């Protein structure tokens, strides 16, 4: 059985590459959607395309809104939303995506280390699986793709 | 004009009391909904009511799910969702509530200090107002309640 | 905080009375909705009102459809749906109600004894709480009603 | 006319194979979706992938949630949901799927023997057809696929 | 238990009065909504308020649109939609209302004489009850209102 | 621009063939969906597949429900719903389909002779076009398909 | 029958007062919602409450977003949305509100002079009534409120 | 990543051709949908196909309704809706489309010159990007299509 999967969240490690490699090697019937994972162009897109801003609030606002077009399209199109929380940064955008996914009725898979279980309890409680590493996420996806 | 308002997010300062006081003093036609703001009972409710757990993951899971009944009812009933981000803790639950509110089509007001604008840019971009303090939130609510 | 609660499921014990008594004694701000708990009129309503049937399939069909008007109105109106599974009968209607509640985005509380956990795992997995007895359900409701 | 069909319910007989064979032999334009029909991996997937649990409740919970990703995707994608009730086991998951299907506005076909009509009356009342055997289900599907 | 009920369909007999009388006499907790039952003002409202038309198509169009404001508000607000088919006129508006009610997920009760069962089979198939007379409709409503 | 079109309503003339011929000849990018237009199998499908009934009400009920699977799938999948009213029969099923189409937000095109404008005014008022003959329906479809 | 009515659009004449006066004098069961009709505070609310902006784009943006909280709450709560187009200004916000109202399934009444019929044809085509003056709007509302 | 894009709004300049050329030259994975951009046939389609009208209101009404079939299909199918406001005409239909797009949860990109910022502030406030020219719109689309 095939699925569309959106890989949201942390963009500073190669976890998305691991999943894409597994999809390719195992020929899993998954359409993979991602955010812009290039941090620099993600932050700068607003002022580069639409003109500079003196105030960083508006610089961020213009970028975040343009990126939201990609995020919202991916969230609405996905059957499964995977959100990875890393060990750095605030990652409120990842939690925000998880909230949108839950409210849209998408199946949520969360990946994070066990030492941040307590602050992520509300998101884990809405998730269909909480994985400790990307290998577990891949195993879940492989399991879900099997035909019977 | 009257509104139902859910005050989500940070629970370690008295910002909700400030809003409630303003509502009472100015007789604003606002129904105010809140999460459980008692940290201890919020964390312990699952194991206290439904029985203990050896693993903290499941302790947290049981509590978060019971609390989600209140959160989801409030989010669905609200016209306006106010989410305050403080200067402590991960506050992923606040960002998660903001995502649910946005996806449900609720009007979102975010309150946070200016030094955390960058990590909150996705949430600010979905908000109808970004306030720097609770006084501004109160002014917005007062403005919205006026009759014409 | 107030809620509308639909008490679905098993109708052969007095669990609903326990909840209603607690609501009255503790003055909980809960609107309680119930199915027809009178087994005999529930089964006979179709043929009594709309005329007899030779085939029991159609007798049951007419009754189930009339009763569904009450069930669907209650499920759509409720914030919280409590479904109790007892130790007798097939109780597929209770599981069916739980599925409707989950798909409508209602908060689901399931009550059942621990020896039927395995066959109820899909429903428990969609629930916000799994209680072992009615006292626990009452404690959850009391906890959710507190004002802050 | 083509349809997407989800075959939910009982997994201990070969009824799905009969339908798939008919689809192949008659070249019916049906996309067939199924749950995991391998009972053992369905029960064990949670602890195998995400780690063991001392308490069977949580073992079941982890498995049921992972499997729900497949179930919910299939239920949302289907035009028609067929639910078969056999003569063994509690089958509350089948009734739960039927409830989700009904609430999502999917066309429901139920298959069961006539001796369990009474406890299934609520589900039959929401169904577009109640079949006594898989041959009848196949006839309905064949009839619906005809072009005019 | 209380309900909001919209009485759609035929406007040339006193069936709505019978229901309203029963509601009053039995003090049933029902909010009753009706279309404009005054045939003349219903047909003329468009040209009277908004100006005359040479072409009857537009005269009818203006009236039907103004009346649809009432119909759509009632259909969206109702828990139960009762549609009566009489023995005169085309009554396509009654069938049209039944379709809207079904698509909005409202509980549909249809009343008609048995000699028009065949052309009404699609509407009866979507209904939760098919009554032969208004007394049966009243009995169903009375039954649904009982408290347990 | 391409569309999916459901041709509902009257099945006793060759109007659907005219539209299909135009689609083929002009190579219009339209996916055409139809109900079962074979009156006899449409009426008999319930009892043929699922077993006979003594009471014609249930014979009709079984057929109408099986056929509704096709109708509801087509109505949900369509961008445009065309409903033709002829000069014979009650055609309440056509009006019922029009109501479902309107409530689902589908674009409705109605075709009927001018002498039945008055009883169809509510349906015409919800339609995006009222055609007097099939040639006009074809012209509308051709116009809508043009690329710019 | 009672309705909630949102009076959107032009704010430079006293048309809303005329409607409110009629409601009061005739004791019509209408809940009237309005935007902020004080042009100055509507334009300035963003910078007054949340701080000044050098760029008028952001000044307007902050005001428009705060005002949208009121607009969206009113549009979602209303049964009927009345939009008046005057003879001055661009009034794109009025047309924007009309689009939201139409997409939310609200009954739309448009008021405008006949000389701007052509550019308003898309909005008139989605409306349930096009009035030439406020007296006609009042007559429609009075007509819709009658009890039968 | 691929998107479906509806290019609504102004039809008197070649801005859509610029976007289509960029899509072709850069092989962007975009499905482009447009309204009828031929002003004359857009205005005349109603009376040409369905018969003449003495009153221009009805001529416009018939055309606008036929065209709405294309507009609504495009708006519902699109991930992104681009609305361009030019320097001529009332363009209320463009603002109306923007309102529908916003209410349907589509990502809105608005293009207009800076001198009409104030009257467009409500629409800009609902947009994910406000571009000053078509080149900026193209840059945004190109940026959103990148694969990671």
CA distance H100 to H78: 12
Q: How confident is the model at residue D43 (pLDDT cuts 50, 70, 90)?
A: very high
Domain that holds residue C131: 3-37+78-145
* Count of beta carbons in the 10 Å neighbourhood of residue E47: 16
Q: Do chains D and G touch (3 or more CB pairs under 8 A)?
A: no
Place of tokens 């096709």: F70
At residue E36, the pLDDT reads: 98
Choose the mutation target among C1, C108, C124 for the interface with B, i.e. most B CBs under 10 Å.
Answer: C1
CA distance E95 to F94: 8
Cα–Cα distance list, H26 to D112, H21, H81, H84, H146 (Å): 57, 8, 20, 22, 11
Q: What is the dihedral of CA A96, A100, A102, A108, to 10 degrees?
A: -70
Q: Which long-range contacts (CB under 8 A, 24 or more apart) does G41-46 make?
A: G41/B143, G42/G11, G42/G67, G45/B143
Instruction: Provide φ and ψ at H74, rounded to 5°.
Output: -65, -45
Pairwise CB contact (< 8 Å): E58 & H58: yes
Look up residue F129 and give its two tokens.
Answer: 């076009």
At residue C116, the pLDDT reads: 97
At residue C17, the pLDDT reads: 98
In tens, the pLDDT along C9-52 reads 999 999 999 999 999 999 999 999 999 999 999 999 999 999 99
Question: Looking at CA atoms only, how far is residue C83 from chain F in angstroms?
Answer: 29
Cα–Cα distance list, C12 to C86, C114, C145, D118, E22 (Å): 8, 19, 27, 17, 32
At residue C125, the pLDDT reads: 98
Pairwise CB contact (< 8 Å): C80 & B69: yes
E-strand spans in F34-94? 80-84
Question: Looking at CA atoms only, how far is residue B104 from chain A in angstroms?
Answer: 7
Look up residue H144 and give its two tokens.
Answer: 């959103």
**B71 is a domain residue:** no
- Spell out which chain C residues touch chain F, with contact meaning CB-CB distance below 8 angstroms: 54-55, 58
* Count of beta carbons in the 10 Å neighbourhood of residue H132: 14
Question: Looking at CA atoms only, how far is residue A79 from chain B in angstroms?
Answer: 16
Place of tokens 């506005």: D105
Coil vs helix vs strand at E112: coil
At residue A39, the pLDDT reads: 96
Residue H127 belongs to domain with CATH number: 3.40.50.450
**E115 is a domain residue:** yes
Place of tokens 């069977």: D56
Question: Which residues from G are below 8 Å from E73, CB to CB?
Answer: 1, 3, 79-80, 107
Q: How confident is the model at residue G90 (pLDDT cuts 50, 70, 90)?
A: very high
Neighbours of chain B (3+ CB pairs under 8 A): A, C, D, G
**G73 is a domain residue:** no
Pairwise CB contact (< 8 Å): B92 & A91: yes
- CB neighbour list of residue G95: distance below 8 Å, 6 or more residues apart: G83, G85, G123, H92, H93, H95, H96, H99
Choose the mutation target among F83, F113, F121, F128 for the interface with E, i.e. most E CBs under 10 Å.
Answer: F121
Strands D80-84 and D3-9: parallel
At residue B92, the pLDDT reads: 98
Cα–Cα distance list, G128 to D50, D142, E79, G106 (Å): 57, 43, 24, 10
What percent of chain H is predicted at pLDDT more than 70?
Answer: 100
* Count of beta carbons in the 10 Å neighbourhood of residue C143: 18
CA distance H55 to D91: 65
Rounded (5°) CA angle A119-A120-A122: 105
For residue E30, give the DSSP letter: E
Angle between helices E92-103 and E56-77 (to 10 degrees): 40
Pairwise CB contact (< 8 Å): F92 & E92: yes
Mean pLDDT, rounded, for D97-125? 98
Distance of CA D134 to the CA centre of its chain: 13
Coil vs helix vs strand at D22: helix
**A47 is a domain residue:** no
* CA-based nearest residue in chain D for residue C75: D103
CA distance F96 to F68: 11
**H127 is a domain residue:** yes
Question: Which residues from A are below 8 Å from G58, CB to CB?
Answer: 55, 58
* CA-based nearest residue in chain G for residue A62: G58
**B116 is a domain residue:** yes
Pairwise CB contact (< 8 Å): G58 & A58: yes
**Residue C136: closest CA among H42, H124, E11, B66:** B66
**G83 is a domain residue:** yes
Mean pLDDT, rounded, for D24-37? 98
Q: How confident is the model at residue B148 (pLDDT cuts 50, 70, 90)?
A: very high
Pairwise CB contact (< 8 Å): D54 & B58: no
What percent of chain B is predicted at pLDDT more than 90?
Answer: 99
* Residues of chain A under the 70 pLDDT cut: none
Q: What is the dihedral of CA E23, E15, C77, G97, to 10 degrees?
A: -120
Q: Do chains D and A touch (3 or more CB pairs under 8 A)?
A: yes
Question: Which residues from B are below 8 Å from G60, CB to CB?
Answer: none
Pairwise CB contact (< 8 Å): C103 & D104: yes
In tens, the pLDDT along G23-39 reads 999 999 999 999 999 99
8 A C-beta contact, residue B5 and residue B33: yes
Distance of CA B87 to the CA centre of its chain: 15
At residue B126, the pLDDT reads: 98
In tens, the pLDDT along B56-113 reads 999 999 999 999 999 999 999 999 999 999 998 999 999 999 999 999 999 999 999 9
CA distance F133 to F15: 9
**Residue F146: closest CA among H34, A116, H57:** H34
In tens, the pLDDT along C79-127 reads 999 999 999 899 999 999 999 999 999 999 999 999 999 999 999 999 9
- Spell out which chain H residues touch chain G, with contact meaning CB-CB distance below 8 angstroms: 56-57, 60-61, 63-65, 67-68, 71, 85, 89-104, 114, 116-126, 130
At residue D108, the pLDDT reads: 98
Listing from the earlier edge strand, what are the strands of the sheet with H30-33?
A: H30-33, H3-9, H80-84, H107-111, H129-131
**H128 is a domain residue:** yes
Q: Is C39 exposed, middle or buried (0-12, 13-18, 19+ CB in 10 A)?
A: exposed
The whole-number mean pLDDT for each consecutive block of 10 residues of chain E, a chain of 148 residues, reads 96 96 98 97 98 97 98 98 95 98 98 97 98 98 97
Tell me the count of A-G CB pairs closer than 8 A: 4
- Spell out which chain C residues touch chain E, with contact meaning CB-CB distance below 8 angstroms: 16, 33-38, 41, 45, 49-51, 62, 65-66, 68-70, 72-74, 76-77
* CA-based nearest residue in chain B for residue D58: B58
Question: Looking at CA atoms only, how far is residue A89 from chain B in angstroms?
Answer: 8
In tens, the pLDDT along B17-61 reads 999 999 999 999 999 999 999 999 999 999 999 999 999 999 999
Q: What is the DSSP string of chain B?
A: --EEEEEEE--SSSHHHHHHHHHHHHT--EEEE-----HHHHHHHHHHHH---SSHHHHHHHHHHHHHHHHHHHHHH-SEEEEE--SSS--HHHHHHHHHHHHTT-EEEEE--GGGTTTTHHHHHH-SEEESSHHHHHHHHHHHH---
8 A C-beta contact, residue F100 and residue F10: no
Question: Looking at CA atoms only, how far is residue F8 from chain D in angstroms?
Answer: 12
Give me the number of domains chain F comprises: 1
- Considering only CB atoms, B70 lies closest to which of C1, C130, C136, namely C1
- Considering only CB atoms, G68 lies closest to which of B128, B143, B148, namely B128
Rounded to two decimals, the pTM is 0.98
Question: Looking at CA atoms only, how far is residue D79 from chain C in angstroms?
Answer: 16
CA distance D126 to B14: 50
CA distance C136 to C124: 15
At residue E82, the pLDDT reads: 98
Pairwise CB contact (< 8 Å): A72 & H105: yes
Q: How confident is the model at residue H33 (pLDDT cuts 50, 70, 90)?
A: very high
8 A C-beta contact, residue B40 and residue B11: no
- CB neighbour list of residue G127: distance below 8 Å, 6 or more residues apart: E65, G98, G108, G109, G110
Question: Which residues from C are below 8 Å from E107, CB to CB?
Answer: 68-69, 72-73
Mean pLDDT, rounded, for D7-26? 96
Question: Which residues from C are below 8 Å from E1, CB to CB?
Answer: 33-34, 70, 73-74
Mean pLDDT, rounded, for H47-59? 97
8 A C-beta contact, residue H35 and residue H100: no
Cα–Cα distance list, H61 to B59, E4, E62 (Å): 62, 35, 12
Question: Looking at CA atoms only, how far is residue G68 from chain E in angstroms?
Answer: 24
Q: How confident is the model at residue F128 (pLDDT cuts 50, 70, 90)?
A: very high
- Spell out which chain F residues touch chain C, with contact meaning CB-CB distance below 8 angstroms: 54-55, 58
The residue length of chain H stands at: 148
In tens, the pLDDT along F7-24 reads 999 999 999 999 999 999
Choose the mutation target among C39, C67, C92 for the interface with D, i.e. most D CBs under 10 Å.
Answer: C92
8 A C-beta contact, residue G34 and residue G109: no
Q: What is the DSSP string of A21-86?
A: HHHHHHT--EEEE-----HHHHHHHHHHHH---SSHHHHHHHHHHHHHHHHHHHHHH-SEEEEE--
Mean pLDDT, rounded, for H32-45? 97
CA distance D81 to D8: 7
Mean pLDDT, rounded, for H16-22? 98
């Amino acid at each position: 059985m095939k699925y569309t999967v959106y890989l949201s969240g942390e963009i500073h490690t190669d976890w998305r590459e691991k999943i894409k490699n597994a999809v390719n090697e195992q020929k899993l019937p998954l359409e993979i959607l991602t955010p812009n994972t290039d941090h620099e162009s993600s932050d700068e897109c607003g002022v580069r395309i639409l003109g500079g801003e003196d105030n960083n609030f508006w610089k961020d606002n213009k970028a975040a809104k343009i990126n939201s077009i990609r995020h919202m399209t991916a969230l609405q199109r996905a059957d499964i939303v995977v959100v990875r929380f890393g060990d750095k940064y605030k990652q409120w955008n990842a939690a925000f995506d998880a909230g949108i996914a839950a409210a849209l009725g998408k199946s949520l898979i969360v990946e994070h280390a066990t030492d941040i279980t307590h602050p992520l309890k509300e998101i884990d409680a809405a998730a269909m699986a909480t994985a400790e590493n990307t290998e577990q996420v891949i195993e879940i996806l492989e399991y879900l793709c099997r035909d019977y």
